[in-house]
Amino acid sequence: MDRIRISDLALRCVIGVNEDERREKQDVSINVAIHADLSKACRSDRFEDTIDYRALKKRIAAMVEGSHFYLLEALTQAVADVCLENPAVAKVDVRVDKNAALRFARSVGVEITRDRARAARAFVGVGSNIEPEKNVAEAVRLLAGRARVAGVSTVYETAPLGRPGEPPYYNCVVELITESPPLEVKASVLRPIEARLGRVRTQDRFAPRTIDLDLIAYDGVALETEELVLPDPEIMRRPWLAAGLAELAPDLVLAGPPARAADVAAAMPQSGMKRLDSYTARLRKEAGHDG
């Protein structure tokens, strides 16, 4: 397989677990090897037949410099995910070095290899009606520390169903790029974040909550177990879930019976959903998706 290399890309981002590492951006160096079939470009000498590595470099730089990761491993994975967004890329090798991360060492680095078949799009419904402005933002930040956040839908304020007098919800959908299978996303990503934000599950499924994180779709996967059903049947009953999913992935086909996310959303009433555009813009900026 042919390769395109981007070497020693010097960038700065928030990376680390210590407070002093998170107050200011840290220096990182990124090396990428793109595996792709370049035979057509080799014969044609046409720009259209190769990978635009200048555009790829800009996409990597924008993602990295707008990111907030705790682990170097997560940042390295996010760079790989950006590269694999291009359908011409079959595999990618990524090395990210953090300068002066250890005493007496010039740098610490993480190197991974990822192929296209392993990356998946996971869509997470996010909701809160206990300090929702703070908790939804914190949930998105924590999600970004465990996977790459590829998109954040419009945030809607909605009234609690059948609960007059209780505080309204903030609801949105977040798209993650992940290699973890669906059940692992739920158990190892979503539930720990809920616990960290003080979610207490009771027999009352509709009680107020600090945060609610539900895996509602995972690419086009259909799954039915005691722990998880995909796609989430609530998409067909909750307009804000349908609208958020359609905004991020309008052509995603939801299984059983098959339907495009955009068509599902278009068929549902939008009344009772108040757009929170200013809050959404702030949330997207913090997640590195303010474009």
C-beta of residue 52 within 8 angstroms of C-beta of residue 105: no
The one catalytic residue among 114, 146, 199, 238: 199
C-beta of residue 92 within 8 angstroms of C-beta of residue 83: yes
Residue 4 has a CB neighbour count (10 Å cut-off) of: 17
The whole-angstrom separation of Cα 57 and Cα 68 is 19
Give yes or no: 37 in active site.
no
Give yes or no: 49 in active site.
no
Give yes or no: 214 in active site.
yes
The whole-angstrom separation of Cα 73 and Cα 270 is 40
- One-letter amino acid of 26: Q
The one catalytic residue among 81, 97, 214, 232: 214
> Nearest to residue 136, comparing CAs of 276, 262, 230?
276
Instruction: Give the burial string for 138-156 (b: 16+ CB within 10 Å, else e).
Output: bbbebbbbbbbbbbbbbbb
Tokens of 131: 């300090």
Give yes or no: 212 in active site.
yes
Active site amino acids: 199, 209, 212, 214
